[in-house]
Structure 1
Amino acid sequence: MGYHRNNWRQVVGKAAPFIPGGQELMAAVDVVHGISDSVGRNRLQYVRGGRPLVELPWQPPGPPPNPQRAEAVGRQAWDLLFADEKQYSARSLLDQVGNLLMPLPPTELDMVVRRFGTQGLDRWDALTHVEDEHGECAYDEWRQQELFNWLLRTVSPYGAMLVGTGMTCSQPDDDDECNCGDHGWVLPEGPFAKVDGAYVTENWQWVSGSTEALSWQDMDQGRFGTCWLLTSMQAVLQANPQYAPRHFRQEANGTVTITLYYEGRPLPITLVPDLPYGHGQLWGAKGHTADARYAETWPGYFEKAAAQYHGNYHDIVHGGHPNDALALITGREAQWLDLNSPWLIQEIADRKSRGQALVASTLGTSDRNKIADGRLAGSHAYFIKDVDPVGGRICLGNPWGDGATRKMWECWLTLQEVGCYLRRICAVDTW
């Protein structure tokens, strides 16, 4: 079943042809509000082959800036960044820069970051990777991410985009592998979080849905092979709707902080709010539309945080294992279920009743190949969407979202079909 929410133009646009004067009314609304498709697309902050770098409104916290102090501190920090790291050690230089800049209020830190520009920020980034005589970096990955998080959360939106451009390791790379010249990064205009709790099907039937801002229904995998990751998040959000408020946060300057886990230890990752874009649409994960003006964007930020965690998009877009994704999302080790157990359906029902998230993967070598009479994609990951213990069936939910046919959106399997089509099922506690 397809769901739509948070996009009034999408819903009204489908209804307009069936309402007398509906199309004329929509055209008039566009003219009055200046939100026609052409105007909206031209307004998007999209850079082919690069990242957006634009001024956006910002209400800074703290006292007004002291330009003289910011200039003096920035000059000292600049001299330290470009000092000889072999003579003074990169770690010592980085710590001195941090001691200078940490006490600055956000407005003055932003002035220093702007003064640094991409040259100074690139040097700052490079110092964190300088190795000592033991082959260890001046800052390990945890310390690097703490540095990026602090800068991205504190400075202005423009400053955050400047950090994302100059400090290249603060953002994951995207090798689109398309070579068409039409890929880059865009600042979406769609909502990161908007609560209405209302969903409508293609047949205009209202259905119950989560009232949480980030719901499992808001998912479209996009063009990356991240089904193993995204459907695991769907499973977690369905099992525990309270997960999202504790792990997703939009900062005051528009950046986004996602909390993942490394060996059970929380790892916050703050992101610049641009997302991969190509061929006139959001290229990665999103909500119910690929239009960057209206899309629910939290799936894309979760996907981007996972790419940052792994180092780049390339390491997550060519497949992975749901058990690894569940550990990344919850910090807990996933448990394998016995697909040959005659009580498998009852066990799944029991685990779902206890708030566990369950994810299944299908047999096959490619999701381009269809199995189960075309109801399932091969070598694909699904979350256990529902279970019917009386009828002896489970329902698999597809992270492909509304773009998939209703036949592919969900699939009910009997116990016998589970053994024929599924490779494994894993479960994890979410509470």
Structure 2
Amino acid sequence: MAFRGFDAGKLSTLANDLDTLGRNSGKLHSRLATLLTTAQQNLPPGQNASRNPDLQDLVGDLVPMPFFGRRRLPGSLGGELGDMQTSMKRRIKQLEGLQELERRGYPVGDGALFLDEQPPDPKKIDDALRHLQELQGKDFGTNGNRDDLEKVSGELDGLTAAELDALVTKASPKDLAFYNQLLTNTDDSGWNPFDENGLPEDRRRDTLSRMLAKISPENVPKFQAAFPGTQPTFTNTGAYEDGGNNQNGQSNSGIHWATPSDPLFKDGVSADDVNQHQFGDCWYVASLAGLAQKDPKFVQDGIKQNPNGTVSVRVWDKSGNYQWVTMTADLPTDQNGNPISTYGNGESWPAYYEKAFAMVYSDDGDGERGYGGIEGDDPKKSSPYLTGKEGEDLTAGGFLGIGEHDDKNIASLKKAFDSGKVVTVSTPDDESLEKNHPPEWEPSYCTNHAYYVRGFTDDGKIILGNPWGSSYPPITVSQDQFNKYFQGPEAFDAP
């Protein structure tokens, strides 16, 4: 019987036929090679048994040996058809499992038919859903609810995408919201100051990221409503409250969430892809641009798009915990469809790095969160989230060594840069410098701002990049100029 347009019985017959053809391809190869070899032997010198170069290659190739590097047709069909029928049979089992799931009353999204995973197990879904619902009204005792939450979290993590999507579809919004309430409440009960409630932030974020990466696009709004922490707020930013960024002069109206049409990558990763736009997180964006310059492959390997359209970014938190943070594909956008957050030149990867950072970062455990929480801080603090490694002040002890240190010595920065480090600097919050700086630095120089080192000239000057993007030219700075207009050189190791 057909299921959503697929007939498992007919597909199984086709897979078996492909298996038979694959097994017989070796015999066909040998027979054809024998025929061509015999014909070649009976022809006058200089004549070929076939005008087709692929068939002529079979002359003398009487025994196909695909495992030893020979990939000629028709012998090579043994492996190719074998792989194809194995994949088909695996997908057929998934199809039959989905059909059984629907027969038992579980909703099955059309997208689940194209998943390449183990067939769904209704019992696993039943058990996980029951344990989720049993959290309502349960007495967790004086030790807190963490053991129960870890059990449910482990069950949810162990579900396939089809299983998890069926569970999220069938679970009530109340069940999911209550689970989120328990996950996020890590306070003690008041009866026992040593009890354990909720899940620590890194484990909570990890389990929710795994869930969000698996569910169908149709279930994402329901999931976000139940777990609002999976979307960072932008209403606490200067761009939202003031209608733009007063440093670079960009303005906006009607900020809302929208999904961009640009791909993650268009032509790889480059520092010139990074354009800060309107949020005041130059300290993070400068570090991201510097890392993109030093190790573009590391940056590209740290982001991926999931089959359901969500995006996952590799992040470390302030405790050094490594995880993939999953988020929806929508981004802060103005009423005209222009990006408000950090963006690329026709590619969106910088925006998702920034969005993941806004979900994870806080200056302290009770600090402000979201995009507003990443505005205005120290570039050195961004490196642990980007690479898992601490940053360092180049003014706190001297990179050149004892007796050679100068707080603003460009040679010190060059030595750090040449050793493979990402180097950032900042400018003072001084209005007089804003009004009185070398005119050739326009429009790239700004006070109370962060820059990343792009390189050095042969005569010892430093070249600084503005994280506002490629439309703001790099500025070249002498030692005397650096002493007056810049401060706070910092560095961190690129992986």
Structure 1 residue 399, shift from structure 2 partner: 1.0
Amino acid at match of 1:283: I
Structure 1 residue 113, shift from structure 2 partner: 1.0
1:314 to 324, 348, 372: 372
Structure 1 residue 287, shift from structure 2 partner: 0.9
Greater alpha carbon shift after TM alignment, 126-135 vs 234-243: 126-135
CA distance 1:365–1:171, change in 2 (3 Å): farther
Is 1:155 the counterpart of 2:215 in the alignment?
Answer: yes
2:333 to 264, 277, 284: 277
1:233 to 280, 288, 308: 288
Q: Deviations over 1:270-301 (max 9, x none)?
A: 2222211223222111112xxxxxx4111111
Amino acid at match of 1:171: Q
2:137 corresponds in structure 1 to 83
> For residues 58-73 of structure 1, what are the structure 2 equivalents within 5 Å?
59-65=114-120, 69=123, 72-73=126-127
- Structure 2 SS opposite 1:268: strand
Is 1:410 the counterpart of 2:474 in the alignment?
Answer: yes
Amino acid at match of 1:172: P
CA distance 1:423–1:139, change in 2 (3 Å): same
> For residues 241-256 of structure 1, what are the structure 2 equivalents within 5 Å?
241-256=296-311
Is 1:344 the counterpart of 2:409 in the alignment?
Answer: yes
RMSD of aligned Cα (Å):
3.0
Structure 2: gaps (5+ residues) = 1-108, 244-251, 362-368, 399-404
Contact 1:355–1:429 (8 Å) recurs in 2: yes
- Structure 2 SS opposite 1:313: helix
CA distance 1:333–1:358, change in 2 (3 Å): same
Alpha-carbon distance in structure 2 between the residues aligned to 1:313 and 1:267:
20
Greater RCO (CA < 8 Å, at least 6 residues apart): 1
Is 1:142 the counterpart of 2:211 in the alignment?
Answer: no
Contact 1:118–1:167 (8 Å) recurs in 2: no
1:18 corresponds in structure 2 to none
Structure 1 residue 85, shift from structure 2 partner: 5.0
Structure 1 residue 245, shift from structure 2 partner: 3.6
1:29 corresponds in structure 2 to none
Is 1:177 the counterpart of 2:235 in the alignment?
Answer: no
Is 1:189 the counterpart of 2:261 in the alignment?
Answer: yes
Q: Deviations over 1:238-266 (max 9, x none)?
A: 11223214422223332222222234442
Count of matched residue positions in the alignment of Structure 1 and Structure 2: 347
Q: Deviations over 1:7-64 (max 9, x none)?
A: xxxxxxxxxxxxxxxxxxxxxxxxxxxxxxxxxxxxxxxxxxxxxxxx9967423145
Is 1:379 the counterpart of 2:436 in the alignment?
Answer: no
CA distance 1:297–1:367, change in 2 (3 Å): farther
1:392 corresponds in structure 2 to 460
CA distance 1:301–1:411, change in 2 (3 Å): same
Q: Deviations over 1:360-415 (max 9, x none)?
A: 10112579945523521001101011211x3121111011114x4xxx43111101
Structure 1 residue 355, shift from structure 2 partner: 1.3
- Structure 2 SS opposite 1:151: helix
Structure 1 residue 128, shift from structure 2 partner: 0.7
Is 1:301 the counterpart of 2:352 in the alignment?
Answer: yes
Q: Deviations over 1:90-131 (max 9, x none)?
A: 324423433543443211210111223543322221111233
2:273 corresponds in structure 1 to 218
CA distance 1:237–1:181, change in 2 (3 Å): closer
Structure 1 residue 136, shift from structure 2 partner: 5.1
Structure 1 residue 70, shift from structure 2 partner: 7.2
Alpha-carbon distance in structure 1 between the residues aligned to 2:110 and 2:424:
40
2:7 corresponds in structure 1 to none
Alpha-carbon distance in structure 1 between the residues aligned to 2:416 and 2:327:
34
Contact 1:85–1:93 (8 Å) recurs in 2: no
2:170 corresponds in structure 1 to 115
Structure 1: gaps (5+ residues) = 1-54, 196-212, 289-294
Is 1:260 the counterpart of 2:315 in the alignment?
Answer: yes
Structure 1 residue 86, shift from structure 2 partner: 5.2
CA distance 1:228–1:78, change in 2 (3 Å): same
Contact 1:226–1:320 (8 Å) recurs in 2: yes
CA distance 1:314–1:118, change in 2 (3 Å): farther
2:38 corresponds in structure 1 to none
Q: Which has the larger radius of gyration?
A: 2
1:324 to 381, 385, 398: 381
1:50 corresponds in structure 2 to none
Structure 1 residue 150, shift from structure 2 partner: 1.5
CA distance 1:105–1:367, change in 2 (3 Å): farther
| Greater fraction strand | 1
Is 1:358 the counterpart of 2:423 in the alignment?
Answer: yes
Alpha-carbon distance in structure 1 between the residues aligned to 2:321 and 2:146:
24
- Structure 1 SS opposite 2:462: strand
- Structure 1 SS opposite 2:463: strand
Contact 2:433–2:485 (8 Å) recurs in 1: no
Give % identity: 24
Alpha-carbon distance in structure 1 between the residues aligned to 2:459 and 2:489:
19
Contact 2:253–2:335 (8 Å) recurs in 1: no
